Chain A
Amino acid sequence: MARDITPQFSRPAGRGDGQRVDLTNLSAFTQTPPIGSAGEVAVIAAVAILVVGGIECSLRWFEVPLYILPPPSAVALALVSDFHLILPHLGHTLVELLAGFAIGAGAGLLLAALVTQFPFAEKVIAPYILLLVTTPMLALVPLLILRFGFGYEPRIIAVALASGPMVMINAATGFRRVDSAKIALARAYGASTVQIFWKIRAPMALPMILVGLMIGAIFGLLTAVGAEMVGGGFGLGNRLTTYSSMIQMPQFFAVVLILSTLGILIYVIFFLLGKKYASWEA
């Protein structure tokens, strides 16, 4: 199919950087070509085994104590044997993350949509959003705990406050990517403001919205774990402080491993969503 003179019309004028906006330019990781042959798979697996095995062997060789750095085998063992103890805490963290993210992302999207429809509102709100984005919401957790106690509430609020502004700022950037020709097209056929929003602005903003949701979710995870470390007797963050205070390093690293997996999962979910619903831009 000839693609030589495909117009660059969809490219927003004035963004200047010439970078396309989607999840694929967030990380060099996704730029890697797909794994091809069985040989490549074998090499990748061999390197992974070599790295993990190397760590294992050198830790044992130098007789590094378990309480400083446990070997991968001990971590794996702890992950399996203590998983039933960690699982409820994973559940608590997920509840906080999902609830806080839902509230934060919902409010963020709504605000972004409103603010871009009314430029004056944006001028009024912008400084506060900037403040929310730049202030680590963890700083508020002690205060929130004073007011709401050691339950879910302060953590959910902190997650919402951390993820919401990230979602909003990215979504607003997306909504502002106005292509006047596409809006004119809709208007020429009699589209209402609401129709223009849902049929032109929202789909155009979708790639940026997905980026915002992903960043917001990752910030939410950070904040949830951090808030759990500050106070309250449950959650993965609480496990980290507990295990480290009891010098149970294999269990500690097992929790770290679970957290890494959560983070990667968030990335993968939004990457796949982007591929499915926002690949038109690539």
Chain B
Amino acid sequence: MNAAGDVAPRSCRPTSIGEAAGRGGAASGAAAPVALVVDAATKVYGAGADRVLALEGCGFEVRAREIVSIVGPSGCGKTTLLWSMAGLHHLTSGAIRLDGAVIDGPHPAIGIVFQEANLLPWRTLDANIRFPDEIKRRRSDEGLIENLLRQVGLAGYGPRFPRELSGGMQQRVAIVRALAQRPSLLLMDEPFGALDAFTREEMNRLVERIWLDTHTTIVLVTHSIDEAILLSDRVIVLSPRPGRVARIFDVPLPRPRTPEIMAGRAVFELASAIRSEIVGARTSLAAEGAVGSPKGEG
């Protein structure tokens, strides 16, 4: 039984990413250093009458080796926030810092998994996984890729094309693509929203397994409260637009979070609390997928 922080991270971090190496041996648990700081993030789209305030003064911290979920009503700026962390959006004001450095563009230590698998259909899985290395004009770590493919159960699938794979398999390839870059921060943008409930559950277990292996810091945007509880150390609830932190829930459950744990009373109560925090903010949420069964899917 591995509690969130008390497993010393294996040396899976790249030596090329200096700050990650420095963090690797740091203290465990709640004392882990802050990796990511979201500082009064504000994002305005458009101007004049079309002006939309997506985020306003949104702020929180993510510690190293933590899994943090961001949930909230539809349109609350979750994805905007995540894309800003990836350096894909520029904040109107405020800042996001990774290990002290302001993110103002794509960052080599950040990996991202998108909604749906977002594989390039004209490339084989191998070529898809190597795509980031190709962009960065460097050699891929063949051993790591092979390992990751085996870990997600897709060893030997390299020469296939995405269309030959199911949605869940495609998303596993997308995760391998992100992890093959040895990110110190993995961002996941509603990664399993398009999958059926069983595949989703399976993918959640996979992410947990990978995290137990690598202890990569993960920020996950999701619509599913169950998913958030299964995976996260903390769940951040954003308010309706403009998005700001409504409340942060700790998830003090041991890992791995077995189906028994997920069926327990603590999870039920936590899920209810999170749900009422979101629904209380906006009752129209009933139409959203976030209001699912009260229990874990397992």
- A interface residues, Cβ below 8 angstroms from B: 1-7, 9-10, 181-182, 184-191, 195, 199-200, 203-204, 206, 278, 280-281
Contacts and interface: CB of A to CB of B under 8 A. Distances in A.
24 contacts: A1-B164, A2-B166, A2-B169, A3-B165, A5-B195, A6-B162, A6-B166, A6-B167, A9-B116, A9-B117, A10-B121, A181-B114, A181-B115, A184-B88, A185-B118, A188-B87, A188-B88, A188-B110, A190-B106, A191-B135, A203-B120, A204-B122, A280-B163, A281-B121
Contacts of A2: 165-166, 169
Nearest to B88: A184
Given A6-B165, A188-B112, A182 B135 contact: no
A9 B88 contact: no
B171 to A, nearest CB: 9
B131 A189 contact: yes
Contact of B166 (A4, A191, A199): A4
Contact of B120 (A5, A182, A189): A182
Contacts of A6: 162-163, 165-167, 170
Interface of B: 83, 86-88, 105-106, 108, 110, 112, 114-118, 120-122, 131-132, 134-136, 161-170, 181, 194-196, 199
Nearest to A1: B164
A211 to B, nearest CB: 16
B168 A7 contact: no
B108 A7 contact: no
Contacts of B196: 5
B166 A5 contact: yes
A177 to B, nearest CB: 12
Given A7-B167, A189-B106, 13 more contacts: A1-B164, A1-B165, A5-B167, A5-B199, A9-B116, A9-B117, A184-B83, A184-B114, A188-B87, A188-B106, A189-B131, A190-B105, A199-B135
A206 B196 CA distance: 32
Contacts of B199: 5
Given A188-B110, A188-B112, A189-B131, A5 B168 contact: yes
B167 A280 contact: no
B156 to A, nearest CB: 13
Contact of B88 (A7, A187, A281): A187
Tell me which of A4, A189, A206 has the highest count of chain B C-beta atoms within 10 A of its own C-beta.
Answer: A189
A9 B167 CA distance: 11
Given A5-B199, A6-B166, A186 B118 contact: no
Contacts of B121: 10, 280-281
Nearest to B128: A185
B41 to A, nearest CB: 18
A195 to B, nearest CB: 6
Nearest to A5: B167
Nearest to A179: B118
Given A7-B116, A190-B136, A280 B88 contact: no
A161 B78 CA distance: 50
